[in-house]
Amino acid sequence: MTCYRFENLTPVVDPRAYVHPSAVLIGDVIIGPDVYIGPLASLRGDYGRLIVHRGANIQDCCIMHGYSDMETVVHENGHIGHGAVLHGCVIGRDALVGMNSVIMDGAAIGAESIVAAMSFVKAGFRGAERQLLIGSPARYLRDVSDEELHWKRLNTLEYQDLAGRCRASMTETTPLLRPEPNRPTLRGTTEVQPRPADTGK
């Protein structure tokens, strides 16, 4: 990983976490165990503290940043989809933020909630538990179903497992010129079912 000390604060990464070598960590960043930080993620702790709790994932091209008077937090088992932006906000336990969504300053996403892909959660929004939020600005659509929460949790388990798989086997290499004979196919370790309909993700 690319890791920078900033004004006497050095990022903290639990040894059971995985941070991709192309991710950037700056200053006051704290990453807990079983966390996955994907390629090209940027966690800029040069104003407020950034905390990623146990089992959460911050996927590729995500941005975390904030202000000096607030922490930006992803709680345990939080799931942050590709390209999302978290700025001075709090993501509740077991919540999912869909791809390319933006969560603004002072917003709080409730535990076990889902923010649909490409949604914009405006500054100061205060969510409740198990809300499905969708749109720009995001609005409450309905409660998250048991099926949707189960699907979310299976996907989060996949990323927790991926952190270990990456620690164990990911190495920089030179590409092959052509596929080798009988090239194997990668398989996840949990049986993730197709996502439920009508979630807007």
pLDDT tens digit sequence for 49-86: 999 999 999 999 999 999 888 999 999 999 999 999 99
What is the pLDDT, as a whole number, of residue 201? 41
In percent, how much of the chain has pLDDT > 90? 89
pLDDT band at 91 (very low <50, low <70, confident <90, very high): very high
CA 69 to chain centre: 22
Q: What pLDDT was estimated at residue 170?
A: 92
CATH T-level assignment (fold) for domain 2-143: UDP N-Acetylglucosamine Acyltransferase; domain 1 (2.160.10)
Structure tokens of 2?
Answer: 């690319």
Chain segment 164-186, per-residue pLDDT in tens? 999 999 999 999 999 999 998 98
Q: State the alpha helices, DSSP H only, in 126-177.
A: 146-169
Mean pLDDT of the chain: 93
Residues 78, 37 contacting (CB under 8 angstroms): no
Q: 10 Å Cβ neighbour count for 91?
A: 30
Q: Does 192 have pLDDT greater than 90? A: no
Q: Give the Cα separation of 121 and 105 in Å (integer).
A: 9
**Which residue ranges make up each domain of the chain?**
2-143
The pLDDT of residue 200: 45
Segment 110-145, tens digit of pLDDT = 999 999 999 999 999 999 999 999 999 999 999 999
Residue 68 is predicted with a pLDDT of: 83
